[in-house]
Chains A and B, each alone.
Chain A
Amino acid sequence: RMEASCLELALEGERLCKAGDCRAGVSFFEAAVQVGTEDLKTLSAIYSQLGNAYFYLHEYAKALEYHHHDLTLARTIGDLLGEAKASGNLGNTLKVLGNFEEAIVCCQRHLDISRELNDKVGEARALYNLGNVYHSKGKSVASAGTHEPGELPDDVRNALEKAANYYEENLTIVTELGDRAAQGRAFGNLGNTHYLLGNFRSAVIAHEQRLLIAKEFGDTSAERRAYSNLGNAYIFLGEFETASEYYKRTLQLARQLQDRAVEAQACYSLGNTYTLLQDYEKAIDYHLKHLVIAQELNDKIGEGRACWSLGNAYTALGNHDQAMHFAERHLEISREVGDRSGELTARLNLSDLQMVLGLSYSTNNSMMSENHVADNSVNGARPRVGRRHSMENMELMKLTPEKVQNWN
């Protein structure tokens, strides 16, 4: 025969996916499906791998389709282990798609079958997946509100507490099994769950464990994640100095890993941390670094945030010219990306700054009028009439530490 067999095509698909080329792997798997096979177990393996490849390619609708085919097939041929695996994969995919209730049913099925088969590894993995679903569920409901971690509606708290319980159950098993990599993952996500629950000390304990295991494996990405999460937790413990140290380690590793987006995030976090420490010069330094990368990555939302943060920091220093410049940029970008609340914030900041600079609200100022045309000339283009306030007045702007602590 001239044409390749289904098995040969599938084997090439597997090889390509293992080599990290999921896109090419998908083509071979789809060709294998086209050719077809009488062997339903082979077909099930192809569907499963197609589902996973699409999952890694972030094409979740396709992933859902193939994992569903796999599940149907596994049930048809009475392959219980295969059914458990397909259920787990379907659950993970449904979770990403935000269908948490169905995701829970699928992950629970994965768990039930694993227990029935006395498959400890499968059981642990199902528990981890269930933890992830409840974590995502809690986070998605939480993100709709505007509260801080720790101040949670009941449904969010319930979901997050379930997540924590599943991670703990998973940890018990993977510790028995001596699976350090799995322990690392569970500690990381358990730490993030405690963080959202407002248990910041527990979050630190979990992330410290995660860090230890990441170092054991020489897993730099996981190490970087742990530093970043530790930084976040220390912010909420009010230990800003410690947070800044962890964010600096994050920044170091981001640079080492040459991940510009993560580098930008680390700079942004550092900028915010130094703002909390009231070291506005350093805050500006890091926010400017963040701004440069955001522009480089054409991340308009990041650029807008950088401008807003810079405007605030310059205001704190009493440098109102620079503050105006960045508030204007923030307004421009908010308009560009259609961020209504950003636009409103920028307008309020601008009007405040104009007040301080001695301009009245009623001034027919181009920035405040609706048909504003982007003013690209940086500082000094606008006449600064009747500036009434000397810089000494800006002493008032310094915050007391108590105020910073309670700032929520």
Chain B
Amino acid sequence: SQPLSGRQAAELQSKVVPSKQILHSDNMEMEPETMETKSVTDYFSKLHMGSLVYSCTSKRKNK
């Protein structure tokens, strides 16, 4: 039979190479999530668009 030392070394060798499992376990790099956005300024600017446009054009006219 295989001498003890040889068997032990053979057993040890089995622990030498890491399973590829550990490589993929937790380091997969995902892309970021995309969140939908709302803004009070969007709404605000829609509400006041008329007056803002008016004030801008009237300023230009004043120049």
Contact = CB atoms under 8 A, between A and B. Distances in A.
Contacts of B33: 55, 92, 129, 132
A45 B39 contact: yes
Given A45-B39, A45-B40, A128-B34, A407 B20 contact: yes
Contact of A49 (B6, B11, B12, B37): B37
Contacts of A132: 30, 33
Interface string B1-34: 0000110111111011111111111011111111
B29 to A, nearest CB: 4
Contacts of B35: 52, 55, 88-89, 92
Contacts, number: 160
Say what secondary structure dominates the interface of chain A.
helix
A189 B41 CA distance: 33
Interface of B: 5-6, 8-13, 15-25, 27-44
Contacts of B21: 146, 148, 408
Interface in A236-290: 236, 265, 268-269, 272-273, 275-276
B11 to A, nearest CB: 6
Nearest to B9: A396
Interface in A168-204: 182, 184-186, 188-189, 192, 195-196
A149 B5 contact: no
Interface string A198-225: 0000000000001000000000001011
Nearest to A266: B27
Contacts of A226: 29
B13 to A, nearest CB: 4
A70 B21 CA distance: 42
A225 B29 CA distance: 6
B28 A407 contact: no
A235 interface: yes
B38 A49 contact: yes
B23 A232 contact: yes
Say what secondary structure dominates the interface of chain B.
loop
B10 A396 contact: yes
Nearest to A55: B35
A218 B5 CA distance: 56
29 contacts: A11-B44, A14-B41, A49-B37, A49-B39, A70-B38, A122-B36, A149-B24, A185-B31, A185-B32, A188-B29, A188-B31, A196-B28, A228-B27, A232-B23, A232-B27, A232-B28, A235-B20, A315-B12, A316-B13, A316-B16, A352-B11, A352-B15, A355-B8, A356-B12, A393-B9, A398-B13, A399-B16, A404-B17, A407-B17
Nearest to A273: B23
Interface in A3-48: 7, 10-11, 14, 41-42, 44-46, 48
A28 to B, nearest CB: 11
Contacts of B9: 356, 389, 393-394, 396-397
A356 B8 contact: yes
Given A45-B39, A48-B36, A122-B36, 16 more contacts: A11-B44, A45-B42, A48-B37, A148-B24, A185-B31, A185-B34, A188-B31, A265-B27, A268-B27, A312-B17, A315-B12, A316-B16, A396-B13, A397-B13, A404-B17, A408-B20
A268 B22 CA distance: 10
Contacts of B44: 7, 11, 42
B6 to A, nearest CB: 6
The 10 closest A-B pairs by CB, nearest first: A85-B36, A225-B29, A188-B31, A48-B38, A45-B38, A185-B31, A397-B13, A396-B9, A316-B16, A10-B40
Most buried by A among B12, B20, B32, B43: B12
Given A11-B40, A46-B40, A189-B30, A309 B23 contact: no
Interface in A45-81: 45-46, 48-49, 52, 55, 70
Nearest to A226: B29
